[in-house]
């Protein structure tokens, strides 16, 4: 099906981008200079923010119609969706804890840097496993359970999100406004 192939190409390209951003976070952690206020700490925080922005504002909205179309079709698929949702929340919690601790480093406090690094590494590892699960099990369930009409709706929804993102990033348009999502 053309619609399913198009939808998954977009989602997999975004998964590749998310993996790249997660890898950049890990590379920043490998340089101990982030542990003190300064440019490397700022870079780590910027990389985390870039990941958050892309995941929440760009990637996540594209999955809404896909996941809602799949929900309620098969108990095993619903368990997978529940697992993905639960794991996503755990990842957000790990990242939020780390960001809070990083802010205190920037403010001159002395939190345990090993804990910060551990939280961020756990977040990155769990996110990568979740993306792998979406690229395999979720993709297989969608291929098995969604009809061509549902795929058309999913692909249309993804296309609308891509167009919205392009409009939001066009020079001279929407200056000073953040995209909804």
Whether 6 has a pLDDT exceeding 70, the answer reads: yes
Residue 110 belongs to some domain of the structure:
yes
Q: Which two tokens stand for residue 4?
A: 């399913």
pLDDT at 168: 80
Provide the domain limits for residue 60: 8-154
pLDDT at 172: 60
CA 78-154-170 angle, to 5 degrees, is 125
Q: What SS3 state is found at 177?
A: coil
Model-level pTM?
Answer: 0.87
Q: What percent of the chain has pLDDT over 70?
A: 93
Q: What is the pLDDT of residues 147-169, one digit of tens each?
A: 999 999 999 999 888 888 778 87
Q: What is the pLDDT of residues 13-27, one digit of tens each?
A: 999 999 999 999 999
Residue 62 belongs to some domain of the structure:
yes
Read off the pLDDT band of 181 (50, 70, 90). Answer: very low
Q: What is the pLDDT of residues 90-99, one digit of tens each?
A: 999 999 999 9
Distance CA 151, CA 69 (A): 9
| Residues 95, 120 contacting (CB under 8 angstroms) | yes
Distance CA 2, CA 83 (A): 28
pLDDT, mean of residues 61-83: 94
Distance CA 123, CA 95 (A): 6
Q: What is the pLDDT of residues 98-118, one digit of tens each?
A: 999 999 987 888 899 999 999
Q: Report the domain count for the chain.
A: 1
pLDDT at 1: 61
Residue 167 belongs to some domain of the structure:
no
pLDDT, mean of residues 63-83: 94
Residue 169 belongs to some domain of the structure:
no
CATH number at residue 120: 1.20.120
């Amino acid at each position: 099906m053309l619609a399913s192939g198009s939808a998954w190409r977009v989602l997999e390209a975004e998964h590749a981008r998310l993996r790249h951003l997660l890898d950049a976070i890990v590379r920043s952690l490998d340089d101990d200079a982030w542990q003190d206020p300064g440019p490397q700490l700022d870079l780590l925080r910027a990389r985390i923010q870039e990941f958050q922005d892309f995941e929440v504002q760009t990637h996540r909205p594209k999955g809404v119609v896909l996941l809602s179309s799949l929900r309620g079709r098969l108990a095993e698929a619903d368990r997978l969706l529940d697992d993905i949702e639960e794991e996503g929340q755990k990842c957000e919690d790990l990242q939020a804890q780390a960001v809070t601790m990083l802010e205190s480093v920037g403010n001159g406090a002395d939190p345990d840097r090993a804990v910060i690094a551990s939280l961020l590494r756990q977040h990155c590892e769990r996110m990568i496993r979740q993306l792998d699960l979406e690229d395999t099990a979720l993709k297989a369930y969608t291929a098995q359970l969604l009809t061509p009409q549902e795929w058309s709706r999913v692909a249309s929804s993804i296309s609308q999100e891509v167009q919205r993102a392009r409009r939001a990033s066009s020079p001279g348009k929407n200056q000073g406004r953040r995209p909804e999502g």
